[in-house]
Amino acid sequence: MYLSPEEEAIYQGERGETLRRMMEILVALGDIYGAERLVPVRSVQIAGVSYKNIGEAGLEWISDLEGQVAVPSILNPAGMDLCRWREMGIDAQFAEKQQQTIEAYRKLGVSIDCTCTPYQIYDALASPGDHLAWSESSAVSYANSVIGARTNREGGPSALAAALVGKTALYGYHLDENRRPTHLIEVDSDLRGSDYGALGYLVGGMVKDGVPFFRLRGLHTRPGRDELKALGASMAASGSVALYYVENVTPAPPARGAEEKISLGQKDIQEVYAAHPAEGVKAVALGCPHCSAAELARIARLLEGGKVVMEMWVCTARKTAEQNPHLVRIIEESGARVYCDTCMVVSPAAERLEKIMVNSGKALAYLPGLAGVKAGLGSLEECVDAALGRR
C-alpha cells in the first residue's frame, strides 16, 4: 500500500510508539484487503467499550495508548448507565472496570457519548460522501445507507487506530465498486414501526453480507429515519449487511447490475412475529438502536398515566435524554427506566431477565446469543401494553 512521506514517518515510529502501532494496524488491514492508500476520515465511532466484551486484556490495551485522537471520535454503548449502574443491578467491581475503560478513552480525547446512534446527537460527524471509520453495525449501516457516507465496519482496534491517525485504509465500502446492489427485494406489504425490524431480520438472514435494494410497494409505506434505522440495524444483526438502498428514499446506488430478486409479502413479515411470541416475557426493553427524541415522545405518550408491572428499560443516548427531560419524567413516572450510555445487549444487567420483549429486529437477533436471554417481538404499542400488564 502506498504511504505518503508523512505516513511513512509514522510507520517508522518517528512520531512515537502509539502512532507507530496504530499505523501498523491500518497498513496490515490495507494490505489484507488490497487498499491502494489511506484516506482521511471525518469522524470515528469506536466499539469495544463494554467491559463485558473487552475484558481485562482490552482495558490494558487501551490504557497503554498515548496521545490524542486526530478527528472527532465517539464511543459505542458501555456495559452500564455510567450514572445509574447500581439501579441496573451492576456490581461494584464491574462498574469500577467499566469506569476505568471510559477514563482510558477520555484520556485519548474520545467523546464519552456512549451511543450507537451518534448521527442522532451530532450533525457534524457525517455528511454525504464523507469517509468515516465507524464500528457499531447499525451505525455503519445508517451512515452508508441513509446519510450516504462511506465506512467499513471497523473493529475496536482499527477504529481507534483511525481515530489516532485520522485516516483509514481505502477499501470495501469506501469504493463505488463495492456499493452496488446485489439483491432486489420487492416488498408487497404495508409496513409500519417494528415491521421494518421484522423485515430486516428476515432479509439479513437471506442476503448475508450482500447489498439489498428495496422496492417497497405498500401503499402507505414510506420509511422515516427511525424506520430506516431499525431496518438497517436488524439486517446488520441477522446478516452482516452494511449498506442497503430503499428506492426513492435513501441516496441512490452508484450503478445497478444483475441482482438476485427476492419477493416478500405481509405473510412473511407476520411469520417473524409468530416465530417470536411474547408469551412468558419478564421484561420489556426498547431503544435498540438507541431511541431518538421522537421515539421517546411516542413511548411517553403510550405510558403516560400508567404503571408498569414488569421491568422496562428505554435505552437512549445521554444527550437525547438530557435534551428531553419532560419525556424522561413521564416515562419514569410509570416505573420504567430510561437508561443512557448502554443497552440490553451490551450490559450484563440484562442477563438476569429470563425473557425480554422488544420491538427491534436487532435485539431479537442478538439477545439469545450475546446475553443468553430469550426474546419476543412486538410493535412498540404491544411492548408498552405488555409492560403495563394489558396483555
Q: Contact, 141 vs 119, CB < 8 A?
A: no
Q: How far is the CB of 47 from ligand F3S (least distance, A)?
A: 8
Residue closer to ligand F3S by CB (options 18, 120) is 120
- Grid coordinates given for 334: 410509570
Q: How far is the CB of 65 from ligand F3S (least distance, A)?
A: 23
Q: How far is the CB of 12 from ligand F3S (least distance, A)?
A: 37
Dist CA 98 CA 55 (whole Å): 9
Q: How far is the CB of 138 from ligand F3S (least distance, A)?
A: 4
Beta strands in 91-194 (DSSP E): 133-134, 167-169, 183-188
Q: How far is the CB of 136 from ligand F3S (least distance, A)?
A: 6
Residue closer to ligand F3S by CB (options 136, 195) is 136
* Residue 264: strand pairing partners: 187
Q: How far is the CB of 262 from ligand F3S (least distance, A)?
A: 24
78: DSSP letter: B
The 3-state DSSP class for residue 277 equals coil
Q: Which residues contact 358 (CB under 8 A, 6 or more apart)?
A: 284, 285, 286, 288, 344, 364, 367, 375, 376, 377, 378, 383
6: DSSP letter: H
Q: How far is the CB of 115 from ligand F3S (least distance, A)?
A: 8
- The footprint of ligand F3S (CB under 6 A) covers 77, 116, 136, 138, 233, 288-290, 315, 343, 345-346, 362-363, 366
Q: How far is the CB of 327 from ligand F3S (least distance, A)?
A: 18
Dist CA 48 CA 156 (whole Å): 5
Dist CA 80 CA 106 (whole Å): 17
Give the pairing of strands 38-40 and 167-169.
antiparallel
Name the residue among 336, 286, 346, 351 with its Cα closest to residue 316. Answer: 286
Reply yes or no: is the peptide bond before residue 40 cis, omega within 30 of 0. Answer: no
Q: How far is the CB of 271 from ligand F3S (least distance, A)?
A: 23
The 3-state DSSP class for residue 40 equals strand
Q: Position of cell 404503571?
A: 307
Residue closer to ligand F3S by CB (options 181, 378) is 378
> Residue 265 is inside which H or E element, if any?
strand 260-265
* Residue 213: strand pairing partners: 184, 245
